[in-house]
Amino acid sequence: MLGGLLGDSTRRKDFTHLPPEIIRGVEMHWFIDEFTDQHPTVKNASAIFKPLQEKFAPVVLDIVFDHFLAANWDNYSTIPLDVFAHNFYALCRENKSLLNAKTTRLMFYMERDNWLFHYRNIPGIQKALSGISHKSTFANKMDVATATLKENYPQLESLFFAFYPALQKAVEDWKGVN
């Protein structure tokens, strides 16, 4: 899980201090990102956000798909979402020395606002997108993306349900080889 968290902020040259299981998690995160970015269903979903979000459409879609995962958590896990989130934050605190500065800052806000749990509802997504928008050094409109989500909710949810099983299978296949 730590490797998955570090995937957005770790480069290969930063691997030297990480244990092998965390490196594997980072590499799996990169595989998931690549698989997701190339998937036709994701491209269709991202196009819904493209007019307003432009180059940030994939970032917004990633968070929107996190919403659908959290909103339907019981379909994918036997561990309740609140328990999973609590355990994840505890794992990050216990292993803070392995997290880089960018991830440590992110984790502060994730845990303080309990993003993982609150992603299950629109206000939680809105808060996360607004926070990311305001902290970004690039001009963006991520803070208004939930309007597009609300307008296209059934279509986006359908696209998530079409995509997620393919992602699960791809990850299982990747694990079998790596």
Pair 57, 33: CB distance under 8 Å: no
Handedness of CA 49, 111, 96, 172 (dihedral sign): negative
pLDDT at 15 over 80: no
Task: Assign 136 a pLDDT band (cuts: 50, 70, 90).
Answer: confident
Q: What does the pLDDT look like over 59-88, one tens digit per residue?
A: 999 999 999 999 999 999 999 999 999 999
Averaged pLDDT, 85-99: 95
For residue 15, give the DSSP letter: G
Residue ranges covered by each domain of the chain: 2-177
Q: Answer yes or no: is pLDDT of 158 > 80.
A: yes
> Rounded mean pLDDT of 140-152?
95
Residue-level pLDDT at 148: 97
Min mean pLDDT across 10-14, 122-126, 128-132 is at 10-14
pTM: 0.91
Per DSSP, the residues of 100-147 read: -HHHHHHHHHHHHTTHHHHTTSHHHHHHHHHHHHHH-SS---GGGHHH
